[in-house]
């Protein structure tokens, strides 16, 4: 599967204390995706990230760049003081979210 790449800093951490080895990450990464795909079959491996470095790597993809242009052209409603974008997560930080609240 064509997963996004780790950043150079993340790759350098592999095998150091507290981080999986390169071989462990190569086994863990597909299992994370497979588990997520059971809940969301339309997930695309090349668009599914689990680390900050993988996420940053998506910024150059044409579909992500197009989405960012659309967002960049949007304005908040008049009188709005704060806009919060919440990344995809199993739980959501608001009441009545389908998967519950963040503990924080």
Give phi and psi for 71, each to the nearest 5: -60, -40
Instruction: Render each residue's pLDDT in the chain as its tens digit; 104 residues.
Output: 588 999 999 999 999 999 999 999 999 999 999 998 998 899 999 999 999 999 999 998 999 999 999 988 888 889 998 887 766 666 666 666 655 555 44
- On whether the CB atoms of residues 6 and 53 are closer than 8 A, the answer is yes
In a domain, 54, yes or no: yes
In a domain, 45, yes or no: yes
In a domain, 103, yes or no: no
Residues 6+ apart with CB under 8 A from 79: none
- Gap between the Cα atoms of 65 and 50, Å rounded: 19
44 DSSP 8-state letter = -
In the chain, what is the straight-line distance between the N-terminal and C-terminal CA atoms, in Å? 34
Return the pLDDT at 93. Answer: 60
Return the pLDDT at 104. Answer: 43
87 DSSP 8-state letter = -
- Number of domains into which the chain is organized: 1
In a domain, 43, yes or no: yes
* Residue 66 lies in domain: 8-72
In a domain, 83, yes or no: no
- The pTM is what? 0.68
Alpha carbon 52 to its chain centroid, in Å, reads 7
């Amino acid at each position: 599967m064509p997963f996004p790449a780790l950043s150079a800093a993340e790759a350098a951490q592999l095998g150091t204390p507290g981080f999986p080895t390169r071989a462990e990450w190569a086994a863990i990464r597909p299992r994370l995706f497979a588990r997520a795909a059971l809940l969301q079959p339309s997930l695309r491996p090349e668009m599914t990230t689990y680390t900050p470095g993988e996420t940053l790597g998506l910024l150059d993809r044409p579909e992500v760049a197009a989405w960012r242009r659309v967002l960049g052209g949007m304005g908040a409603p008049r009188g709005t003081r704060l806009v919060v974008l919440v990344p995809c997560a199993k739980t959501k930080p608001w009441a009545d979210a389908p998967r519950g609240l963040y503990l924080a």
